[in-house]
């Protein structure tokens, strides 16, 4: 028996399904089982624990439903790449390593919050007051309107993924299938699995989701579509007007499909705003975060959508967190109203584009394929992800294996170029060329 399976069998205990479930969760929490670890088959674990296969099958079903495990056909049952439990943090990168893996914006291109915090002196806010600052809503509507983004309903949430989760909770039930881009943001995949939504992958190219693939996902029962209109993570895809029209025509034939757009990079994306939604779209939500422009720690995003969806989100929000901190809302109003911040965001957009384009060009010069039409990431097809990541780490730079960003799409690595100096791009490209990336091709 492979050592990996011996390890997992040795960490799982229990005679009842609930005990086995708790044992697997504890092993993940303590680090005895790691993301991606292979678990034994139902029959193998049943034999090792001297229990019925039905008992193990029930435990695995519960763990899959909670997003702790994933079943991948012939690859077997594995620990989810991002199980929804607190687990030991990854080891820090070696000293001097260039971090092109974390996906963060460049801190040097984010506004310093100290001066704005020092000027904040809002009146105390109490229960039963307005949950959203009118000044923030007014600014948000103006910004969305300038980009021709519909906002019949508008709200404030704690970041992009929080907004996506709240919309799905408002409109779907566990078991409903959700179409999502492939390759796509691993955080969306993990969230969908944790919520009990099977993922229907939608292939894409540099101009966004492929119409034929979206049609197939809807035919297979997808009740919602989650997509990124620009700065798509990890490929950098950005919707064009022609592709938007093709996709909109499909969705207008299926008005019951919920559309959720994740505009996480907003003004820093390096591409014009685009949307599949209109004022008359029956079910939609567009979330626009400030994380990439003003800073991830602000934990604030604007959520626009049809009135019914937004009303459901706000109604549920009032039963729990109630509102996003008014201090954060005041802070975003101050930042959005400051001309120096606006110039910094514009400079950040130009800088991110230049850095991304420098790496794509350097790779192309060496005959290597890469995708990075917008945003802060470059997606590079490779023959073997783990080996490439390890070899680049030995060369002094950390990148992300593409496994957690894809379902059926082929192997690749994600390189975050947000803080990559342009003069470093040739060195990274040379290291990739030396370690056998895929030859130059077109399409994702």
> Is residue 135 domain-shared with residue 253, that is, in the same domain?
yes
Separation between Cα atoms, residue 371 and residue 237, nearest integer Å: 8
Last residue of a domain, one of 312, 337, 362: 337
% of the chain surpassing 90 pLDDT: 74
The lowest-confidence range among 30-39, 151-160, 228-237, 265-274 is 30-39
Please give the mean pLDDT across all residues of the chain.
91
> Is residue 165 domain-shared with residue 198, that is, in the same domain?
yes
The lowest-confidence range among 113-127, 187-201, 276-290, 310-324 is 113-127
pLDDT for 382 beyond 80: yes
pLDDT of 128: 66
pLDDT of 196: 87
- The token pair at 314 is 């706000």
The lowest-confidence range among 42-51, 83-92, 147-156 is 83-92
Residue 188 domain flag: yes
pLDDT in tens, 383-417: 999 899 999 998 899 999 998 899 999 999 999 99
pLDDT of 132: 93
Last residue of a domain, one of 283, 313, 337: 337
> Is residue 128 domain-shared with residue 61, that is, in the same domain?
no
> Is residue 211 domain-shared with residue 134, that is, in the same domain?
yes
> Is residue 253 domain-shared with residue 165, that is, in the same domain?
yes
> Is residue 191 domain-shared with residue 275, that is, in the same domain?
yes
Residue 44 domain flag: yes
Q: How confident is the model at residue 442 (pLDDT cuts 50, 70, 90)?
A: very low
CA angle 291, 214, 148 (to 5 degrees): 45
Residue 84 domain flag: no
Last residue of a domain, one of 337, 357, 379: 337
| Cβ burial 140-161 (10 Å sphere, 16+ → b, else e) | beebbeeeebbbbbbbbbbbbb
Residue 89 domain flag: no
- What is the rounded end-to-end Cα distance, in angstroms, of the chain? 37
Number of independent structural domains in the chain: 3
Closest by Cα among 33, 37, 57 to 46: 57
Q: How confident is the model at residue 92 (pLDDT cuts 50, 70, 90)?
A: confident
pLDDT of 440: 46
pLDDT of 230: 98
pLDDT of 90: 66
For residues 270-281, average pLDDT: 96
Q: What is the CB-side half-sphere exposure of residue 253 using CA atoms within 13 A?
A: 10
> Is residue 346 domain-shared with residue 301, that is, in the same domain?
no
> Is residue 252 domain-shared with residue 135, that is, in the same domain?
yes
Q: Are residues 41 and 76 in contact, defined by beta-carbon separation less than 8 angstroms?
A: yes
Residue indicated by tokens 């604030």: 300
Residue 127 domain flag: yes
Q: Are residues 258 and 313 in contact, defined by beta-carbon separation less than 8 angstroms?
A: no
Residue 114 domain flag: no
pLDDT of 162: 96
> Is residue 128 domain-shared with residue 241, that is, in the same domain?
yes
The sign of the CA dihedral 389, 392, 396, 398 is: negative
The sign of the CA dihedral 424, 427, 431, 432 is: positive
Number of helices (H) and strands (E) in the chain: give both, helices first.
15, 15
Q: DSSP string spanning 227-248?
A: E-SSS-TTT-----HHHHHHHH
pLDDT in tens, 150-169: 999 999 999 999 999 999 99
Q: How confident is the model at residue 441 (pLDDT cuts 50, 70, 90)?
A: very low
Is residue 166 classed as helix, strand or coil in its secondary structure? helix
Side by side, the strands of the sheet bearing 400-401 are 377-381, 412-416, 400-401
CATH code for the domain of 384: 3.90.1150.10
Residue indicated by tokens 């022609």: 242
> Is residue 165 domain-shared with residue 53, that is, in the same domain?
no
208 strand-pairing partners = 205
- Name every residue whose Cβ is closer than 8 Å to that of residue 11 and which is 6 or more positions away in sequence: 23, 27, 32, 33
pLDDT for 443 beyond 50: no
The lowest-confidence range among 66-75, 336-345, 361-370 is 66-75
> Is residue 139 domain-shared with residue 103, that is, in the same domain?
no
CATH code for the domain of 128: 3.40.640.10
> Is residue 212 domain-shared with residue 139, that is, in the same domain?
yes
Please give the residue range of the domain that contains residue 398: 98-107+341-434
Residue 112 domain flag: no
Separation between Cα atoms, residue 393 and residue 361, nearest integer Å: 22
Q: Are residues 268 and 292 in contact, defined by beta-carbon separation less than 8 angstroms?
A: yes
pLDDT of 4: 55
CATH code for the domain of 71: 1.10.10.10
> Which DSSP letter does residue 279 get?
T
pLDDT in tens, 397-406: 999 999 889 9
pLDDT of 444: 53
Residue 88 domain flag: no
> Which DSSP letter does residue 189 get?
H
């Amino acid at each position: 028996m492979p050592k990996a399976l011996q390890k997992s069998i040795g960490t799982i205990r229990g005679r009842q399904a609930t005990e086995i479930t708790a044992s697997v969760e504890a092993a993940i929490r303590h680090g005895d089982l790691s993301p991606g670890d292979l678990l034994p088959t139902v029959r193998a674990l049943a034999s090792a624990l001297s229990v019925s296969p039905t008992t193990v099958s029930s435990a695995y079903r519960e763990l899959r439903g909670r997003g702790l495990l994933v079943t991948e056909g012939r690859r077997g049952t594995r620990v989810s790449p991002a199980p929804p439990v607190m687990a030991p943090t990854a080891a820090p990168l070696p000293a001097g390593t260039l971090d092109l893996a974390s996906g963060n914006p460049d801190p040097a291109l984010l506004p310093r919050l100290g001066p704005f915090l020092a000027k904040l002196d809002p009146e105390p806010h109490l229960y039963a007051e307005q949950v959203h600052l009118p000044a923030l809503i007014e600014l948000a509507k103006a910004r969305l309107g300038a980009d021709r983004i519909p906002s019949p309903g508008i709200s404030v949430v704690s970041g992009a993924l929080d907004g996506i989760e709240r919309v799905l909770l408002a409109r779907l039930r566990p078991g409903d299938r959700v179409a999502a881009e492939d390759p796509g943001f691993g955080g969306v995949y993990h969230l969908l699995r944790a919520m009990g939504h099977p993922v229907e992958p939608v292939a894409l190219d540099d101009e966004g989701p492929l119409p034929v693939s979206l049609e197939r996902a809807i035919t297979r029962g997808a009740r919602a579509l989650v997509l990124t209109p620009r700065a798509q993570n990890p490929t950098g895809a950005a919707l064009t007007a022609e592709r938007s029209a093709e996709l909109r025509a499909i969705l207008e034939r299926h008005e019951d499909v919920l559309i959720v757009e994740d505009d996480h990079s907003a003004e820093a994306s390096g591409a014009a705003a685009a949307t599949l939604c209109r004022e008359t779209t029956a079910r939609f939500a567009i979330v626009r975060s400030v994380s990439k422009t003003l800073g991830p720690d602000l934990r604030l995003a604007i959520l626009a959508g049809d009135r019914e969806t937004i009303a459901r989100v706000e109604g549920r929000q009032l039963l729990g967190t109630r509102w996003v901190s008014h201090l954060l809302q005041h802070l975003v109003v101050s930042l959005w109203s400051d001309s120096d911040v606006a110039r910094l965001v514009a400079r950040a957009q130009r800088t991110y584009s230049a850095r991304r384009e420098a790496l794509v060009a350097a790779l192309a010069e060496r005959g290597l394929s890469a995708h990075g039409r917008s945003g802060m990431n470059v997606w590079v097809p490779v023959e073997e992800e783990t080996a490439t990541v390890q070899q680049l780490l030995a060369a002094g730079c950390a990148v992300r294996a593409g496994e957690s960003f894809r379902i059926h799409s082929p192997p690749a690595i994600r390189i975050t170029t947000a803080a990559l100096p342009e003069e470093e791009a040739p060195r990274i490209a040379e290291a990739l060329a030396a370690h056998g990336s895929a030859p130059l091709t077109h399409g994702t």
